């Protein structure tokens, strides 16, 4: 569900993974012309210019056509639209289907993760909801550059089943039962990537960026532990792995948005320039609110929120962060 850059790319991963088993993958595209292009030319030129999609992918703008008979429903739409979109098609999901979220955002207003929104709106039990997260820049994967990822579900069998369905020669999924840790790692790294992008945009060097990445991981870890997730998850692909990929890549939309802010553009101007979803812009406030609810110190997230909401200039961000009271590096609380 979603024919954007990651929805289309992940459809290709799955189609390549299951081609020999005679399984087909169907994409729901919002626009009729996008569905038509996928069916007729096997391309999605708006998002993946050079990629030829496999023959066992078809598309439709009719959600009923796509969901009818689907054993696995994969969601790849912008996080802030999920609730409304899902409400419109939840009754079309087959009674035993599993829902997999590819999304990396936190819902504003409720501070819920996407797996929690899915559970609430579609009224599904935990064992039928999974998330996938890792260092997965869509453009690289579309070019079949090797990477790995994590399928997280509280039910081991479900996680293994999904991992089989998306294990392609260039894509290696691991499994994990720490859904919260996997999901939050993917959400918070977008905010840290905004901060790193801002450093880049202001012309700061690698020491600065490395400091933000490392301390960004420290504050992500504090949040995940406070909410009941596991430390080892943060050391894995959906934690450190995705953080490094997103913070170092010019392909990242969050990194790019941060860089534009660092170059002095206003948020409205940045939003106008972005043709794809940069989840961190909307999720930053929700993550900060969540951290306050659980009394977790997240100074980089707080500074990013202040910049996004016009309460702090990017130039004053470093001064604010470095002037805080000194403390031990090992403090996780
Ligand atoms: N692009 C990437 O490299 C990766 C993206 N993700 C996550 O996947 C999710 C989707 O991202 P992308 O596919 O990259 O986004 P995108 O901006 O490329 O595409 C979003 C798609 O959702 C569709 N859509 C459906 N309902 C919508 C609505 N109500 N409002 C707006 N758009 C709607 C759009 O038409 C579009 O096809 C995000 O949560 C993102 O963080 C995760 C890993 C990698
Ligand atoms: O999640 C991603 C890579 O794992 C994609 O990051 P962006 O949304 O910043 O492009």
Q: Is 189 a catalytic residue?
A: yes
Spell out the domains of the chain, with CATH numbers in brackets: 5-177 (3.40.50.720), 180-322 (1.10.1040.10)
- 34-46 pLDDT, tens digit each: 999 999 999 999 9
For residues 227-248, give the mean pLDDT: 98
> Is a pLDDT exceeding 60 seen at residue 314?
yes
Q: Which residues contact 150 (CB under 8 A, 6 or more apart)?
A: 132, 133, 134, 173, 174, 175, 176, 182, 236, 237, 238
Catalytic residue (one of 189, 209, 282, 327)? 189
Q: What is the pLDDT of residue 50?
A: 87
| pLDDT band at residue 331 under the 50/70/90 scheme | confident
- 270: Cβ below 6 Å to ligand 1? no
Q: Which residue, 4, 25, 279, 51, is CA-closest to 170?
A: 51
Q: Is 46 part of any known ligand binding site?
A: no
- 150-183 pLDDT, tens digit each: 999 999 999 999 999 999 999 999 999 999 999 9
> In degrees to the nearest 10, what's the CA dihedral of 218, 223, 228, 232?
-20
Torsional sign, CA 13, 14, 19, 24: negative
- 243-276 pLDDT, tens digit each: 999 999 999 999 999 999 999 999 999 999 999 9
User: Which atom in ligand 1 lies closest to the alpha carbon of residue 84?
Assistant: 29
- 70-83 pLDDT, tens digit each: 999 999 999 999 99
- 137: Cβ below 6 Å to ligand 2? yes
| pLDDT band at residue 330 under the 50/70/90 scheme | confident
Residue in 5, 118, 250 to alter for ligand 1 test, most ligand atoms within 8 A of Cβ: 5
Residue in 236, 253, 284 to alter for ligand 2 test, most ligand atoms within 8 A of Cβ: 253
Q: Which residues contact 311 (CB under 8 A, 6 or more apart)?
A: none
Q: Is 3 part of any known ligand binding site?
A: yes
Q: Is 264 part of any known ligand binding site?
A: no
Q: Which residue, 143, 139, 138, is CA-closest to 52?
A: 143
For residues 103-118, give the mean pLDDT: 98
Q: Which residue, 123, 180, 132, 178, is CA-closest to 155?
A: 178
What distance in Å separates the CA atoms of residue 313 and residue 267, rounded to the nearest whole number?
12
What distance in Å separates the CA atoms of residue 59 and residue 31, rounded to the nearest whole number?
10
Residue 91 to residues 158, 215, 222, 226, 328, Cα–Cα distance (Å): 21, 43, 38, 35, 52
> Is a pLDDT exceeding 60 seen at residue 333?
no
Residue in 79, 246, 251 to alter for ligand 2 test, most ligand atoms within 8 A of Cβ: 246
**Region class of 111: left (phi > 0), else alpha (psi between -120 and 50), else beta:** left
Radius of gyration from C-alpha coordinates of the chain: 19
The two tokens of residue 305 are 């929120």
C-alpha 243 to ligand 2 mean position (Å):
9
Which listed ligand is nearest to 85 at the C-alpha?
1
- 136: Cβ below 6 Å to ligand 2? yes
How many other β-carbons are positioned within 10 Å of the β-carbon of residue 186? 30
Q: What is the pLDDT of residue 76?
A: 98
Cut 0.95: pTM above it: yes
DSSP 240: I
Q: Which residue, 112, 121, 144, is CA-closest to 73?
A: 121
C-alpha 21 to ligand 2 mean position (Å):
30
What distance in Å separates the CA atoms of residue 159 and residue 175, rounded to the nearest whole number?
6
Residue-by-residue DSSP string for 283-295? HHHHHHHHHHHTT
> Is a pLDDT exceeding 90 seen at residue 211?
yes
Query: What does the mean pLDDT of the chain come to?
Result: 97
What distance in Å separates the CA atoms of residue 27 and residue 18, rounded to the nearest whole number?
15
Say how far residue 109 (Cα) sits from the centre of its chain.
Answer: 19
Which listed ligand is nearest to 84 at the C-alpha?
1
């Amino acid at each position: 569900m979603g024919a954007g850059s990651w929805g289309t790319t992940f459809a290709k991963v799955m189609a390549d993974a299951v081609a020999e088993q005679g399984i087909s993958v169907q994409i729901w595209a919002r626009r009729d012309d996008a569905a038509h292009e996928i069916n007729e030319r096997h391309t999605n030129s708006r998002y993946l210019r050079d990629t030829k999609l496999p023959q066992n992918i078809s598309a439709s703008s009719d959600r009923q056509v796509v969901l009818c008979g689907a054993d696995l429903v994969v969601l790849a739409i912008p996080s802030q639209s999920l609730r409304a979109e899902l409400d419109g098609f939840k009754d079309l999901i087959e009674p035993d289907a599993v829902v997999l979220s590819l999304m990396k955002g936190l819902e504003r207003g409720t501070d819920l993760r996407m797996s929690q929104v899915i559970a609430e709106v579609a009224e599904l039990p935990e064992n039928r909801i999974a998330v996938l997260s890792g260092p997965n820049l869509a453009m690289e994967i579309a070019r079949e550059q090797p990477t790995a990822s994590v399928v997280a579900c509280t039910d081991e069998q479900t996680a293994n089943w999904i991992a089989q369905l998306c294990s392609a020669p260039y894509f290696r999924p691991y499994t994990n039962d720490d859904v919260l840790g996997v999901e939050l790692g993917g959400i918070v790294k977008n905010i840290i990537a905004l901060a790193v992008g801002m450093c880049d945009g202001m012309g700061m060097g690698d020491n600065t960026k490395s400091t933000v990445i490392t301390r960004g991981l420290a504050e992500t870890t504090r949040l995940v532990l406070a909410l009941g997730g596991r430390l080892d998850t943060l050391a894995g692909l959906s934690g450190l792995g995705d953080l490094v990929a997103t913070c170092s890549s010019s392909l990242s939309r969050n990194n790019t948005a941060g860089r534009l802010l660092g170059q002095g553009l206003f948020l409205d101007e940045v939003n106008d320039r972005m043709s794809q979803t940069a989840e961190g812009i909307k999720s930053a406030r929700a993550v900060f609110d969540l951290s306050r609810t659980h009394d977790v110190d997240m100074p980089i997230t707080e500074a990013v929120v202040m910049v996004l909401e016009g309460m702090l200039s990017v130039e004053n961000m470093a001064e604010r962060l470095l002037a805080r009271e000194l403390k031990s590096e090992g403090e996780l609380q």
